[in-house]
Copies of this chain bind each other. A is one copy, B any other.
Amino acid sequence: MATIQDVAKRAQVGVATVSRVLNDSGYVKAETKEKIQRAIKELNYTPNAVARNLYHRKTGIAALLVPEISHPYFAEFIDAAETALYSYGYQCMICNTWREQNYEAHYLELLKQQRVDGIITGVHTLDIDRYRLIDRPIVALDRQLGDNIPCVAVNHEKGGRMAAEALIRSGCRKVLQVTGQSHVSTPSNRRHEIFEQVMHENGIECINYISKWNRFSYTDFRDAALEIAEKYTDIDGFFATDMTAAALIHTLYEKGRRCPQDFSVVAYDGTYVSSLPYPSLTTIVQPVSELASSCVDLLMKLVRGEKPETMNIRLDVEYRQGSSTL
């Protein structure tokens, strides 16, 4: 493979001159430039992108941190974010963080070391204090990481209210919602607060089942569904994310209960998983593609050194009627 030295030799100029032409910086005589470009062509020289990025102090790489790549919500998010990054000429690096919180710290280190130009994080493991000290481009998906880091999320208040109203319309008298750990500061916790509030306003008993899993694998969702089905036999309405909602339908069907005759379900997220079960799930849909492109647009602004217009982007949710509610 030809090197920059080979090009310089053939064009009978110095390496620095070739470098100026490659990086389009500094003055080079038209005649010399032409000679260099001819040499590049003749030698089939490909400029070493690492070196070029070093010069521009950019890597052309953004990292996505997610708890688990194969979870359908994060898989769809990554899919869309990669597409959006590509439209900016950016490569997409990904990082699972379910293994240990050190992975989150490791990637912050990469950012500090300029191995990536920016990070989009959908991760909740590290203490947010670790983020305060970093003056590099970071965008948070669905998490408050402090005043200096923009946060992109949906209108979870509206989502929680829609879910509650759907179960009320379906005639539920005692409902259960599956929530995450409440100590994490995420806008998505708001949907559970509103859900419970609307239920109480309507005189409906609401149980909060706190999920204990650290991982987002289907086995964990299935275990949770089994525990719920065995412990709470008199529930006639469930509110949970797509995966848990699908696992609940599966588990309760195995126990001979039928939906929506015996119980109603409203799912949250709207990934393809909500379309898989029979009956199909009534779902509050997060616009995952738009969330991803909003995160990427914001990150690219930060990479260019621009100030974002807002530190809190809230996108709308959508109600999709399925057959799991009346």
Closest B residue to A242 by beta carbon equals B276
A273 at the interface (CB under 8 A from B): yes
Q: How far is the CA of A70 from the CA of B77 in the complex (A)?
A: 8
Q: How far is the CA of A26 from the CA of B113 in the complex (A)?
A: 24
A287 at the interface (CB under 8 A from B): no
Closest B residue to A82 by beta carbon equals B96
Residues of chain B within 8 A of A280, CB atoms compared: 250
**Which residue numbers of A lie inside 8 Å of B, CB to CB?**
46-51, 53-54, 59-61, 63, 68-70, 72, 75-76, 78-79, 82-83, 86, 91-96, 99, 103, 109-110, 112-115, 217-218, 222, 246-247, 249-250, 253-254, 272-273, 275-278, 280
Residues of chain B within 8 A of A275, CB atoms compared: 218, 222, 250
Q: Are A110 and B79 in contact (CB under 8 A)?
A: no
Q: Are B95 and A92 in contact (CB under 8 A)?
A: yes
What are 14 A-to-B residue pairs whose CB atoms are below 8 Å?
A: A49-B115, A50-B114, A68-B79, A70-B76, A70-B79, A70-B272, A78-B94, A83-B99, A91-B115, A92-B94, A92-B95, A250-B275, A254-B278, A278-B278
Inter-chain pairs besides A46-B112, A82-B95, A91-B93, 16 sampled, C-beta below 8 Å: A50-B59, A54-B54, A60-B115, A61-B61, A70-B76, A70-B79, A75-B75, A78-B94, A82-B96, A91-B110, A94-B94, A246-B276, A253-B278, A276-B276, A277-B277, A278-B278
Q: How far is the CA of A277 from the CA of B280 in the complex (A)?
A: 11
Q: How far is the CA of A68 from the CA of B75 in the complex (A)?
A: 10
Closest B residue to A254 by beta carbon equals B278
Residues of chain B within 8 A of A222, CB atoms compared: 275
Contact A93:B96 (CB < 8 A) given known A217-B272, A246-B276, A278-B253: no
Contact A96:B70 (CB < 8 A) given known A218-B272, A276-B276: no
State how many angstroms separate the Cβ of A150 from the closest Cβ of chain B: 22
Residues of chain B within 8 A of A112, CB atoms compared: 46
State how many angstroms separate the Cβ of A289 from the closest Cβ of chain B: 10
Q: Are B54 and A83 in contact (CB under 8 A)?
A: no
Residues of chain B within 8 A of A103, CB atoms compared: 86
Closest B residue to A116 by beta carbon equals B91
Q: Are A115 and B50 in contact (CB under 8 A)?
A: yes
State how many angstroms separate the Cβ of A52 from the closest Cβ of chain B: 9
Q: How far is the CA of A257 from the CA of B218 in the complex (A)?
A: 27
Residues of chain B within 8 A of A278, CB atoms compared: 249-250, 253-254, 277-278
Residues of chain B within 8 A of A96, CB atoms compared: 79, 82-83, 86
Q: How far is the CA of A94 from the CA of B69 in the complex (A)?
A: 11
Q: How far is the CA of A247 from the CA of B272 in the complex (A)?
A: 11
Closest B residue to A54 by beta carbon equals B50
Residues of chain B within 8 A of A60, CB atoms compared: 115
Closest B residue to A87 by beta carbon equals B99
Q: Are B217 and A49 in contact (CB under 8 A)?
A: no
State how many angstroms separate the Cβ of A58 from the closest Cβ of chain B: 9
State how many angstroms separate the Cβ of A90 from the closest Cβ of chain B: 11
